[in-house]
Structure 1
């Protein structure tokens, strides 16, 4: 219901052009200062006339180059930020931040991601930050990065550099109870991976159709496939680059970094998972099967959370028919993701410190 109201508000403002309707209140976007290992290549620029979402670009020595998709420049990391309405008119107000990690092979600054952040936060005092994770970064510090690329320390880049950099340049609530992490697909893995490694940073974690079980041979095959697919970025990389060889007895990193089996550190944190089952697997079979297998890794994770006695929210919306109009339970469907995010934002605002 809240999302339907939000969409109605967006429609009204778009039609009638109400003064001050831009979410950030108009004017220039913030100006960022180098620091925490990041060098600003391009300053924030609004993505459209609504002046609510902006993008900027940084460089970091932790990922000095990476496999690029069309339109990307290796070593330049685009980050997209959505501000709450009235941000520049509330000079003394600080806001909680949701860090959202994109999937594979995606990028942070897409129209779909902008919709995902803006449509679910109308009237909500929340900043959303979406960093670059590359088409195949997997939100990890790679075990065997190829020499041609150099270090691929995505986790260090995001947790040790991006977070303090955002806190220094935006009016955030710069503590655990003002911070959440979420992600879709590969990003859902990343969100749980980061939250488990650094529970001191986040008060809430959310996965939208994340691949959470690296002990699953199907999930391992999916990760390995991303290293070889040109569509995930060029150059491709050796299959053992990210987590090492995926076979016993050399698969220790895969076992150690699997979120499903290491939920203990999430105790005391808000935890939410959203997944469909693919619906009719004969319709759009690729995205149907991908979602069905992601669903299986979420069930394993849920079982470990239950066994550990860790409270959590697990939304299994099956074929999507009861979850959102246009959602058929398949992977990366925007109607499903909008409903996921809308529900998750509601959980966040009931748990995070905010104005």
Structure 2
């Protein structure tokens, strides 16, 4: 059973908070402690690209300027189509920014969580892009305890807005102006982070992880933009778009039409953009995951009295099992956990994931 205090985070995200910041706030207490039950454990630490390949990927992101890193912490600047409209840099670790961008019809925000020693070490760090789920926004992981999860860890964590029902996509249609979350994250935010913080601007220096809709976004980004990330994680994130008569595609279309696009859709309706579905569908992109670290979490016992929880995690579990079977058949290793409970963030799994990410990426 899911406790009453469980966050309602599912595939349907929250209203954007126009001026929410988290600088200086302490993390919320963990509300869902879980015992770790490992059902499949296939760790891998193989390198996916040589340094020359990493250089090429970085240059493709935005030119040689992407490779520039600061020697000390400093106020971030505009760039890559992003104009900073609000910022909070007073907190020692959690820095906040809000941007104007032509890709989004309102000003999205991002939290950047710095390592404890960032301001004094002079070191370069790997980066985790951590994507929120439904009924959540960029501040969600601060509430859930990301500061505690990363104390003493040599890792920068970037937590951007992903829209009300953005699905980490550029929609087929919109009636409310641009909602191009995919372009914002991949073409603007990643090179902006690399230009303003001391990061490894290469795939071996980046991981992507997320919860629910964000878990899908992580799986999608890691496959579609193969040369950007060396590690991918999905915490209760759907991994199969077409199964069960396309339930996830239909839900993406309906949720986006109602909450984000005023009748527009992510994949098109009544006819889908089939090429787009295939490009986004993890189970159809298996080879794109080869030589990456893959970390999957799904719940096995959603609350039977909560249709939303049951629908979400039942589909997640079935889709992840399908994905894992295909990975097994292709000889692609992964680490998978099936945990008791339903559709919510599991702090112990987040901690385990972060440790695995640090083990896989370049060392600070």
- Global fold match (TM > 0.5): yes
| Structure 2 counterpart of 1:121 | 150
State which of 37, 47, 60 in structure 1 corresponds to 2:101.
60
Gaps of 5+ in 1: 1-9, 12-27, 66-74, 320-328
| Structure 1 counterpart of 2:283 | 260
CA distance in 1 between counterparts of 2:162 and 2:326 reads: 27
Q: How does 1:32-181 map to 2 (within 5 A)?
A: 32-46=76-90, 51-63=92-104, 65=105, 75-90=106-121, 92-110=122-140, 112-146=141-175, 148-149=176-177, 151-181=178-208
For residues 43-74 of structure 1, the C-alpha deviation after alignment (integer angstroms, 9 at most, x for no partner) is 2345xx6x3212110121122x1xxxxxxxxx
| Structure 1 counterpart of 2:56 | none
CA distance in 2 between counterparts of 1:246 and 1:195 reads: 28
Deviation at 1:218, TM superposition (A): 2.3
CA distance in 2 between counterparts of 1:208 and 1:308 reads: 22
TM-score w.r.t. the length of structure 2 is: 0.75
Gaps of 5+ in 2: 1-25, 28-71
| Structure 2 counterpart of 1:25 | none
8 Å CA contact 2:253, 2:269 repeated in 1: no
CA distance in 2 between counterparts of 1:212 and 1:272 reads: 12
8 Å CA contact 1:39, 1:58 repeated in 2: yes
CA distance in 1 between counterparts of 2:150 and 2:227 reads: 25
8 Å CA contact 1:261, 1:304 repeated in 2: no
8 Å CA contact 1:99, 1:182 repeated in 2: yes
8 Å CA contact 1:31, 1:43 repeated in 2: no
Aligned length: 293
Deviation at 1:251, TM superposition (A): 4.0
Does residue 214 of structure 2 align to residue 187 of structure 1? yes
TM-score w.r.t. the length of structure 1 is: 0.77
Deviation at 1:201, TM superposition (A): 0.9
| Superposed CA RMSD | 2.3
8 Å CA contact 2:296, 2:320 repeated in 1: yes
